[in-house]
Amino acid sequence: MYQIKGYTAALLVVFLFCSMVIPLAASTPTVLRPGMRGAEVKALQSALQEVGFQLKADGIYGPETTKAVQELQRRQGLQVDGLAGPATRKALDELLNTENLTHVVARGECLSVIAQRYDVPLKTLMEANGLVSSKIIVGQKLTIPRAVPVQSQPSRIDYTVQGKDTLYAIARRFNTTVSELLRYNHLPNPDRLQIGQKITVPLRTTRLPLIWPVRGRISSGYGWRIHPVYRRKHFHGGIDIAVPSGTPVRAAASGTVSRTGWMGGGGLVVVIDHGGGITTWYLHNSRILVRKGQRVRAGDVIARSGATGVVTGPHVDFRIKVNDRTVDPMTWLP
């Protein structure tokens, strides 16, 4: 009888130990740190790209990723250790679920430098924060819009020539022509560019012949609005077309699928590259029917509409970007 009780007691101890230890180990989230590699690191890097950090999504947690994580932690008031732990990843996830970022003004910063850091026009930054002058104070919280409209045409940028740059390569990169570059720049020898040389690059927008991705009521237009979920002012970089869940979503023009999958507040998203720096974006889908790298024609069904991401109801958020800047789809659609 004693041996049976002892055996039973031993089993009970083992059971209690396992019941305490196993759930604890299973619930401990992975802390990503420098030196790590893999899909989880790549997902972290892609998320950092989504909120405005310039880095490669190569799946290697190197100095570039560490620096981006540290800057994220600094901005969000977290411990700056360069490790992507639970608090850091939660803060990043929250940023992905809003179309705006928040920047706390530090000592020595000015508004123009902050605008340049986030690649946002100074005027747009002032409008987003209701500023009538560029005066800011230390500790002030600024709303940084992630979706910024393209400047009016004609527009141009100042470009610094880098190693192995040619006029042809620069023209191709910025969707312009060599003749346009020659017209804007009085180059002594167009076949010999110097590293560090400053040139003016004219930006042009070649509008695609588009079709509507879905037919429905425009429930929200392009531009500044009060966010329907977060109830704060932000820039809406597309148009919302209200349709029932499951409605076929069609490619607005022919091109190559460049991105698919979950993209924060956008939910399930499809992005099509049409060349010349022009892409179209289809957000909040319930199902994706194409894969990255697939060629599609205008009118092909690429997804089913839905209400994934941060939404108040089923719709398609349709966006057009030129050189990574949004434009008003209503000026392009028939």
CATH number at residue 109: 3.10.350.10
**CATH number of the structural domain spanning residue 61:** 1.10.101.10
Handedness of CA 69, 74, 78, 79 (dihedral sign): positive
Looking at the structure, tell me whether residues 231 and 312 fall in a common domain: yes
**Element spanning 141, H or E:** strand 141-145
Q: Kindly tell me if the per-residue pLDDT of 151 is higher than 60.
A: no
The residue count of the chain comes to: 334
Q: From residue 68, how far is each of 30, 49, 61, 120 by CA, in Å?
A: 18, 9, 11, 19
Q: From residue 280, how far is each of 200, 233, 237, 253, 293 by CA, in Å?
A: 27, 24, 12, 8, 15
Model pLDDT for residues 81-123, shown as the tens digit of each residue: 999 999 898 888 776 665 567 788 888 788 877 876 666 778 7
Model pLDDT for residues 269-307, shown as the tens digit of each residue: 999 998 878 899 999 999 999 999 999 999 999 999 999
Split at pLDDT 50, 70, 90, the class of 265 is confident
On the question of a cis peptide bond just before residue 154, with omega within 30 degrees of 0, the verdict is yes
In terms of residue numbers, what domain contains 67? 39-96
Closest C-alpha to 46, from 242, 259, 204, 304: 259
**CATH number of the structural domain spanning residue 236:** 2.70.70.10
